[in-house]
Amino acid sequence: MPCMPCALPTGGLLPHPQHTMMEIANVSSPEVFVLLGFSARPSLETVLFIVVLSFYMVSILGNGIIILVSHMDVHLHTPMYFFLANLSFLDISFTTSIVPQLLANLWGPQKTISYGGCVVQFYISHWLGATECVLLATMSYDRYAAICRPLHYTVIMHPQLCLGLALASWLGGLTTSMVGSTLTMLLPLCGNNCIDHFFCEMPLIMQLACVDTSLNEMEMYLASFVFVVLPLGLILVSYGHIARAVLKIRSAEGRRKAFNTCSSHVAVVSLFYGSIIFMYLQPAKSISHEQGKFIALFYTVVTPALNPLIYTLRNTEVKSALRHTVLENCCGSAGKLAQI
């Protein structure tokens, strides 16, 4: 479907004000958006389809296993794995809000998404992105309490606090999404329905507007400070205290255990914030728009698949719980069959 050009008059006599408002009202909400995605490189689309589908399946399977094991194994009923299960559910939801539409666009000639689908996509992706920033900061506080305040850990990270921190993360992300996305949705788009990306993202929708977007930009910068910069600052402060506490541990075995406790979370934070910083905090001319698409592909598709691998490959507790769960189910099923 071709992109619709701006329908407002650009020259000649000025139309009657009522007619202008009617034209804006008629063209400000297109029925569909065209997601250009990787259509400039059609030879890559088949390869990208296979790669994206593979990572999506790994993400669903890996994160689903972590949620299941964290729920079934009583040894993992701790604050750390409670937050990890939240992160896994968030990753499944985030990648599912983007990848099915991306796969559909990569597979066939149609590159469109309905107006309602686009709105839902940028509401959800904005919500879950902000939630993950806060949730990662919450997880760093949990690691700080475990290493710097080990004798008071169970008192500090009691179930009510854990539930409250998780709810604050989800509700905080939802609040900023409702405000920012609603302000963006209200912008008149003047009939332009082409989005040079593979999913609907709030800044790209703002670029299609034919009115001043300074209020939207101000809200976006404020939300970025509150939900990106502040959580990152809290993470750095937490790990600053953790590093100082680890250096005071005299035994090499104690330092190794403390390092293993935090290494998985550090790796996940580095992947998530590294891609965000490289994508959004670089000078405008340092990366091309095409390069930006591949970076976005990394944090929307690859990172959610790597997170469960990082936690399972480097975490002996998760591997032990997984083996225990699998063996228990297999042995239990074999026992029932033997009785029959």
Digit-coded pLDDT (tens) for 46-81: 999 999 999 999 999 999 999 998 888 888 889 999
Domain-located, residue 1? no
b/e per residue, 299-308, with b = 16+ CB within 10 A?
A: bbbbbbbbbb
Domain-located, residue 24? no
Total Cβ atoms within 10 A of residue 221? 10
Residue closest to 115 by CA, chosen among 38, 205, 25:
205
Give pLDDT, residue 335: 45
- Band (pLDDT 50/70/90 cuts) for residue 13 is very low
Give pLDDT, residue 12: 37
Gap between the Cα atoms of 141 and 324, Å rounded: 29
Which range has highest mean pLDDT (79-93, 281-295, 318-332)?
79-93
The answer to whether 87 and 307 are in contact (CB under 8 A) is: yes
Domain-located, residue 79? yes
| Percent residues over pLDDT 70 in the chain | 81
Angle (deg, nearest 10), helices 115-148 and 79-96 = 160
Q: Which residues pair with 32 in a beta bridge?
A: 114
- Band (pLDDT 50/70/90 cuts) for residue 325 is low
- Band (pLDDT 50/70/90 cuts) for residue 11 is very low
- Band (pLDDT 50/70/90 cuts) for residue 314 is low
Domain-located, residue 187? yes
Query: Which CATH number covers residue 142?
Result: 1.20.1070.10
The answer to whether 70 and 84 are in contact (CB under 8 A) is: yes
Domain-located, residue 252? yes
Q: Which residues pair with 112 in a beta bridge?
A: 34
Give the CA radius of gyration of the chain: 24
Give pLDDT, residue 7: 37
The answer to whether 194 and 34 are in contact (CB under 8 A) is: yes
Gap between the Cα atoms of 114 and 119, Å rounded: 9
b/e per residue, 46-83, with b = 16+ CB within 10 A?
A: eebbeebbebbebbbebbebbbebbeebeebebbbbbb
Domain-located, residue 21? no
Q: Which of 33-37, 128-132, 284-288, 323-327 has the lowest mean pLDDT?
A: 284-288
Give pLDDT, residue 5: 46
Q: How many domains does the chain have?
A: 1
Q: What is the DSSP letter of 225?
A: I
The answer on pLDDT for 183 being more than 70 is yes
Give pLDDT, residue 188: 85
Domain-located, residue 9? no
Q: Which of 13-22, 112-121, 140-149, 276-285 has the lowest mean pLDDT?
A: 13-22
Domain-located, residue 20? no
Gap between the Cα atoms of 120 and 103, Å rounded: 17
Please give the structure tokens belonging to residue 6: 């701006």
The answer on pLDDT for 6 being more than 50 is no
The answer on pLDDT for 144 being more than 70 is yes
Residue closest to 85 by CA, chosen among 100, 72, 97:
72
Structural domain including 240 reads 29-339
Give pLDDT, residue 332: 54
Q: Which of 21-30, 234-243, 252-261, 313-322 has the lowest mean pLDDT?
A: 21-30
Total Cβ atoms within 10 A of residue 268? 22
